[in-house]
């Protein structure tokens, strides 16, 4: 089974780090990036 790819986007770094920490414990998820703004998110999605 392939992993679900996730990009975590939020303007608060501490919140992003917490979400990434929680999600990284799940082996079926692959965190492929993080973004602090919509602009960063769209650049990562290209």
Compute the distance between CA of residue 16 and CA of residue 41 in angstroms, rounded to an integer: 13
Q: Is residue 44 part of a domain?
A: no
Confidence tier at 46 by pLDDT (50, 70, 90): confident
Q: Is residue 43 part of a domain?
A: no
Tell me the pLDDT of the chain averaged across its residues: 96
Q: Is residue 41 part of a domain?
A: no
Asked whether residue 1 carries a pLDDT value surpassing 90, the answer given is no
The mean pLDDT of 20-41, rounded to a whole number, is: 97
Compute the distance between CA of residue 37 and CA of residue 16 in angstroms, rounded to an integer: 11
Instruction: For residue 13, report the phi and psi dihedrals to the nearest 5 degrees.
Output: -60, -45
Per-residue confidence (pLDDT) for residue 27, from 0 to 100 = 96
CB 34 within 8 A of CB 16: yes
| Overall domain count for the chain | 1
Domain assignment of residue 10, given as a range: 4-36
Q: Is residue 14 part of a domain?
A: yes
pLDDT more than 90, % of the chain: 96
Q: Is residue 27 part of a domain?
A: yes
Q: Is residue 46 part of a domain?
A: no
């Amino acid at each position: 089974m392939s992993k679900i790819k996730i990009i975590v986007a939020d303007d608060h770094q501490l919140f992003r780090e917490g979400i990434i920490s929680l999600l990284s414990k799940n082996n079926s998820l692959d965190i492929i990036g993080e973004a602090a703004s919509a602009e960063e998110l769209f650049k990562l999605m290209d």
